[in-house]
Structure 1
Amino acid sequence: MDLLLAEDLMLLLLDDETGAVRQTHLRPLLGGAVLADLALGGAVDVEEKRGFWHTARVHPVAGRRPADPVLAAAYDEVAAKPRSAQDLVNRIGKPLKDDLTERLVERGLVRREEHRVLGLFPTTRWPAEDAAHEQEVRRRLGDLLVRGLTPDPRTVALVALLSAVDLTHKVVDREGLPGAEVRKRGKKLVEQMDDGEWAAKAVRDAVAAITAAAATAAVAGGAAAASG
């Protein structure tokens, strides 16, 4: 089954039993995954940075609008106006939680359950219905992060997205490896991606944008806690 990077990521972020989402920086993370998919498919590119004060902009590649509706909507967002990856990951990511979970329901991978918190406040959760694809994704991640097998661009991009929010050690069977070692291996793979010829610049910029968004949210949360 061929899923988007963002769909694979969403499966990893959903608790299989409770159906709750295990990530706070969801919007930039999912937006970054879609931007990475566009980049890996050759649908977008990033201009070269021309100086310290110049912010590199993401541009659509003419004639490469994807057929997939989620990717097509993201492509149109890129095409609407030249923007930085950090701006785009939040714009693209805004509707994705609902869009992606609905797609996963339609594929029969999760099911929708309606609940009420304290018997009053409605909430929706998405526990696993068929975990076979998610298990295959975790196996591929384990091949890279635990067993050290030869990486492929798509799985390395997924590792980079997970590493941006410090989740690499939580999505694989570590087979006795310490979590710190798995995290270290994930970061090393990201560094190799930065040096590699295969990695589209938009993928690297998307990951950097997610990291920046997560750091900004953490600083804002810390400031709010301190003021409270």
Structure 2
Amino acid sequence: MSDPPAGSFDDQAGTVGRSGAPTLAEDLLLLLFQPRSGTIAGENTLFYVLAGAVLADLALGDHLTTTARGRVGTVEDRAPSDGLLRPAWDYLSEKPQGVQTALAAIGPALREPMLARLIARGDIDQVPRKVLGLFPSTALREGRTERRARLLANVRRVLVEGAEPQTRVAALAALLSASGTLPQFHPGIPWTSSVITRAKDLERGEWGANAAAEAVTRTVTATVVNSAIVAITVLPRG
């Protein structure tokens, strides 16, 4: 396994693109946040799931390509401007990697800067509290933007109502399913046989004709997401 550039993920991730559109990985982390408990669902595989979302975002932006051997590489001179995505692109630009290798290299440094962005945007609030009434700490609460509710409604329409998804929503629902956390969204997203079947179809890249305007983008994105899901689903859930 190749090592990522020293310090690059930590140094760049929180500093660039903070005011731009949220990345797919930010949306995924926001969905995985559970307002009732103030926790993040699926912590055992979170790094890998977020890394899968970063790869999917890069593929959606035409920054990635896949090789005949199933490795992931970069499109020359197509570096992303967002600081959460750029370190992953830099890492893969040095040498194409297998998806599982890429997930392991990219994932560990993603949680904190992504959470910091969500807090900065007001999607999640960080509030002070005291542990045992004595020790200062912080707790996470749902923010004021209602963006989580909108994301959840989009995923629900696809999984429950059978709506044909746009590419971003398809990738988001597929990665959410791969994380193993969908049962925790019941009853908002009922844990039924039809939902399970629909989610597995999305994991396999069956996204429908409207999932992307460009056939090449759709193919690369589906390949990257499917490969990431295969890698994620074999991880121990602990």
The TM-score, its normalising length taken from structure 1, stands at: 0.80
Q: Residue in 2 aligned with 1:225? A: none
Q: Residue in 2 aligned with 1:33? A: 53
The 2-side partners of 1:22 and 1:46 are apart by 30
Aligned partner of 1:89 among 82, 86, 103 = 103
Please provide the CA RMSD for this pair: 2.8
The 1-side partners of 2:65 and 2:174 are apart by 18
How far residue 67 of structure 1 moved from its aligned partner, in angstroms, is: 1.0
CA distance 1:27–1:94, shift in 2 (3 Å): same
Q: Residue in 1 aligned with 2:201? A: 188
Check conservation: 1:34, 1:71, Cα contact below 8 A: yes
What is the 5 A alignment of 1:7-26? 7-23=26-42, 24-26=44-46
- Partner SS state of residue 150, structure 1: coil
What is the number of equivalent residue pairs in this alignment?
Answer: 212
How far residue 128 of structure 1 moved from its aligned partner, in angstroms, is: 1.1
Q: Which runs of 5+ in 1 are unaligned?
A: 50-55, 222-228
What is the identity percentage for the equivalent residue pairs of Structure 1 and Structure 2? 32
How far residue 44 of structure 1 moved from its aligned partner, in angstroms, is: 0.7
CA distance 1:115–1:22, shift in 2 (3 Å): farther
Check conservation: 2:46, 2:179, Cα contact below 8 A: no
The TM-score, its normalising length taken from structure 2, stands at: 0.77
Deviations 1:108-151 (A, max 9, x none): 11122456766799865422122511111111111111112222
How far residue 193 of structure 1 moved from its aligned partner, in angstroms, is: 2.9
Match for 2:147: what amino acid? H
Deviations 1:185-205 (A, max 9, x none): 111233353787453335433
How far residue 15 of structure 1 moved from its aligned partner, in angstroms, is: 1.5
CA distance 1:89–1:200, shift in 2 (3 Å): farther
CA distance 1:204–1:169, shift in 2 (3 Å): farther
CA distance 1:181–1:157, shift in 2 (3 Å): same
Deviations 1:148-172 (A, max 9, x none): 2222111111111112123345447
How far residue 91 of structure 1 moved from its aligned partner, in angstroms, is: 1.4
Q: Residue in 1 aligned with 2:228? A: 209
How far residue 58 of structure 1 moved from its aligned partner, in angstroms, is: 1.1
Deviations 1:58-98 (A, max 9, x none): 11101211111111122112113221111111211111110
The 2-side partners of 1:119 and 1:79 are apart by 50
What is the 5 A alignment of 1:88-127? 88-113=102-127, 125-127=139-141
The 2-side partners of 1:174 and 1:20 are apart by 18
- Partner SS state of residue 30, structure 1: helix
Q: Residue in 2 aligned with 1:57? A: 71
The 2-side partners of 1:178 and 1:106 are apart by 32
Q: Which runs of 5+ in 2 are unaligned?
A: 1-19, 210-214
The 1-side partners of 2:52 and 2:139 are apart by 23
The 1-side partners of 2:89 and 2:133 are apart by 41
The 2-side partners of 1:48 and 1:174 are apart by 41
Match for 1:48: what amino acid? A
How far residue 28 of structure 1 moved from its aligned partner, in angstroms, is: 0.4
Aligned partner of 1:164 among 165, 178, 183 = 178
